[in-house]
Amino acid sequence: MMNLTLRPITDADIPRITQWLNKPHIKRWYEPIDEWLDEIRGRRDTFSWLRHFIVEDAGVPIGFCQYYDCFDSVGLEDWNGRAFPNRGEVFSIDYLIGEKAYLGRGYGKALVRLLSATVVALGAQEIIVDPDRENAKSNGVLKSGGYVFDETAGYYRLSIRPLRPCELPALEEFLYLAVFVPEGVEAPPRDVIFHPGVYVYIENFGEKDDVCLVAEQGGKIIGAAWSRILAHPGKRGYGNIDPHTPELAISVLPHARSKGVGTALLSALFKTLADRGYSRISLSVQKENPALRLYTRVGFERIGENEEDFIMVKSLIKNY
């Protein structure tokens, strides 16, 4: 089972990274290699604005990645003239799988999800990436992670951020979209969300245990993933399992589905919850809902069921 983690680079890792950078499947895209190595060697001073990591799978080093705040890279990195006036808003990432045995097995996609979630948890509002257009695998990995290529800007963008208080009304739309409608069945009226058992997922949202992240594209919210603890009498969720475990809700606008947005939102939400000390997250999903495949893929496991629904739980202690 894949279990990726990131650990800060040490001097002892430099020979291994040098070896990776000289491998044929990497060297073409990372030349001149000496520049990358100079940045790593200078990580304590000249290049302290870069955060370098070794990627490990169950403790085995398999790759390298880094992120940086674009505010700190002004004059050193060119994003087609874009200015970054504020620290902590826009970040960029780089990544590679160095061990050939781990290629073509989904590790690149998992790494981008983990690295992106790590950056979002720092408070980033946007992540931008500019791989070589001929590097089909790297471009594909970004697309599967919810990144969208901006033709005007000339690079990939992913915007996942916390829901702002002024945007709370948008949760009604995403709650409605989260209501499962079986194929061939007419969609319910929009006031279905005001049923007490449904509206509880967003009513008075913003309490202590409430967390909501949204995906934004072109200045518009295209998806939302949120969680809250619904364990009280009269305020109990369908997927609640105890008073300490948040319950998940997620939806994405129809035109943005099947493009990695939901997976990116979930990865970022899991990281945010783990950083806040939660050990697991639960949900309830109807057995006919195609989203069941997504939940299973990101690590949810069935722990109970009734005639219509599965109750599922994902550990946040393991890799998210």
pLDDT tens by residue, 88-117? 999 999 999 999 999 999 999 999 999 999
Please, which contacts does 130-136 make with residues 24 or more away whose CB atoms are closer than 8 Å?
130/79, 130/92, 130/154, 130/155, 130/156, 131/29, 131/156, 132/29, 135/29
Q: What was the pLDDT predicted at 318?
A: 61
Dist CA 129 CA 116 (whole Å): 11
What's the number of domains the chain is made of? 2
Cβ–Cβ < 8 Å for 302, 309: no
Residue 41 falls inside a structural domain? yes
With 80 as the cut, is the pLDDT of residue 234 above it? Answer: no
Q: What was the pLDDT predicted at 276?
A: 94
My answer on whether 129 and 206 are in the same domain is no
One-letter amino acid for residue 103 of the chain: L
> Could you tell me where the DSSP H helices lie in the chain?
14-21, 24-30, 33-41, 107-120, 136-144, 170-178, 196-199, 261-275, 291-297
My answer on whether 172 and 307 are in the same domain is yes
pLDDT tens by residue, 132-164? 999 999 999 999 999 999 999 999 999 999 999
CATH for 266: 3.40.630.30
My answer on whether 138 and 212 are in the same domain is no
pTM of the model: 0.84
Output the average pLDDT for the chain: 94
Residue 156 falls inside a structural domain? yes
Residue 320 falls inside a structural domain? no
My answer on whether 88 and 157 are in the same domain is yes
pLDDT tens by residue, 251-280? 999 999 888 899 999 999 999 999 999 999
My answer on whether 98 and 178 are in the same domain is no
Which range marks the domain in which residue 297 is found?
A: 163-315
Dist CA 314 CA 279 (whole Å): 9
My answer on whether 307 and 189 are in the same domain is yes
My answer on whether 100 and 210 are in the same domain is no
**What 3-state DSSP class applies to 216?**
strand
My answer on whether 46 and 180 are in the same domain is no
Residue percentage of the chain with pLDDT more than 70: 99
**Which residues on neighbouring strands pair with residue 77, listed in sequence order?**
74
pLDDT tens by residue, 54-92? 999 999 999 999 999 999 998 888 899 999 999 999 999
Cβ–Cβ < 8 Å for 68, 92: yes
Last residue within a domain, chosen from 126, 161, 196: 161
Token pair for residue 198?
Answer: 């449904």
